[in-house]
Amino acid sequence: MQIFRDKPSNFGPSIVTIGTFDGVHTGHKRIIEKVVTLAHQHEVASVVLTFDPLPRQVHHPDPKNKLICSLADRLTRIEQLGVDTTWVQQYDLDFAAQSPAEFVHKYLVAPLRPEVVVIGEDMRFGAQNSGDAQTLRELGEEFGFTVETVSNIVDPIFGRRWSSSWVRELLAQGRVDQAAYVLGHAHSVRGTVVHGKRRGRELGFPTANLDADFIEAIPADGVYAGWLRMPYPPHSKTPSSLEVVPAAISVGTSPHFGDVGRTVEAHVLGRADLDLYGEEVVIEFVHRIRDNLAFDSLDALLERMDCDLWETAVVLGVPKAQRIDPAAVTA
């Protein structure tokens, strides 16, 4: 997939969609798949115009205002849908102040020469969100493109419109199974492995630790079953592949030890040899096992952690793993 960071020139004709696509959930996928289908039919390029940072980060800045996924993961998921080109437009207050007509002329017609623009039925654009689907149709008549709208998906079970906001709510509640249902894929976070307190290693549960302050939307505190995706071989300048391994994942503080500071820690089942410090890894959440708890004794904590390993193996359908002998940890 071709990626533009600046306004393209001498590009098109094309089929275009516009949006933030945070998380690239199932509703987003329906829109993007429509773009790809029409592009094949028209024998032109398929284009996604998206934004960085996202509008809500600019209009409502807040360190807690995390994305569902990083820009890198957003682009990967868009590429997996067969898109030819994605244009990542910088979003700022000056950009937001354009009228709908200015936006369409400067950022659609002139650079992309669209034949069709595909949008969700509730799409808004232009200064103060003054443009809508009807506005775009009228501008299309003026500039020579047509508009196709894709209806929102209203879930038949929960009665809610599938949206990024709903995904963020589910993650905040730790409901990663249902978030995956709305996303169409398991939720994941990406980060660099840092040194922790090494307490897990001493207890037989060595972990890959990520600093929660520097990664995107993290599920609610608790213990989860999931997968860790890491470059293989580790610490190679040109890793040949990604290795995917089962992991028991802890999110939050360690209430039993009274720790301060939120972390994401992944213990890879049955592995004592992983040296991942400084590596960028992806942690994928499959199922929430329990809350974070303080225990009456260290033995009680270890017994519960042994159960976490067993439940993780059952959820993921992998062989059960035992606690690691601290003397066997090589990394």
φ, ψ at 329 (rounded to 5°): -70, 125
Distance CA 55, CA 20 (A): 8
What pLDDT sits at residue 140?
Answer: 96
Distance CA 276, CA 95 (A): 41
pTM flag (> 0.85):
yes
What angle do helix axes 164-172 and 176-183 make, rounded to 10 degrees?
170
Cis peptide before 53 (omega within 30 of 0): yes
> Which strand (E) or helix (H) includes residue 199?
helix 199-203
Tell me which amino acid residue 214 is.
Answer: F
Instruction: Indicate if the pLDDT at residue 153 is higher than 90.
Output: no
pLDDT in tens, 267-291: 999 887 878 888 889 999 999 999 9
Q: What is the mean predicted confidence (pLDDT) over 133-157?
A: 93
Which domains are assigned to the chain?
2-155 (3.40.50.620), 186-328 (2.40.30.30)
Structure confidence at residue 110 as a pLDDT band (50, 70, 90): very high
Please identify which residue in the block is written with the tokens 């957003």: 74
Return the sign of the alpha-carbon dihedral for residues 36, 21, 280, 171: negative
What pLDDT sits at residue 202?
Answer: 64
- When comparing pLDDT for 52 and 324, which is higher? 52
- 187 DSSP assignment: E
Tell me which amino acid residue 32 is.
Answer: I
Q: What is the CA radius of gyration of the chain?
A: 23
Structure tokens at 182: 């709305």
Distance CA 229, CA 271 (A): 14
Query: CA dist 30 to 18, 25, 40, 79, 162, Å?
Result: 13, 9, 16, 14, 11
pLDDT in tens, 210-225: 876 667 789 999 999 9
Q: Residue 312, exposed/middle/buried by CB under 10 A (0-12, 13-18, 19+)?
A: buried
Side-chain-side CA neighbours of 56 within 13 Å: the count stands at 12
pLDDT in tens, 66-108: 789 989 899 999 999 999 999 999 999 999 999 999 999 999 9
Instruction: Indicate if the pLDDT at residue 260 is higher than 60.
Output: no
Phi-psi region of 199 (alpha: psi -120 to 50; beta: other; left: phi over 0): alpha
Distance CA 195, CA 215 (A): 16
Structure tokens at 259: 């720790």
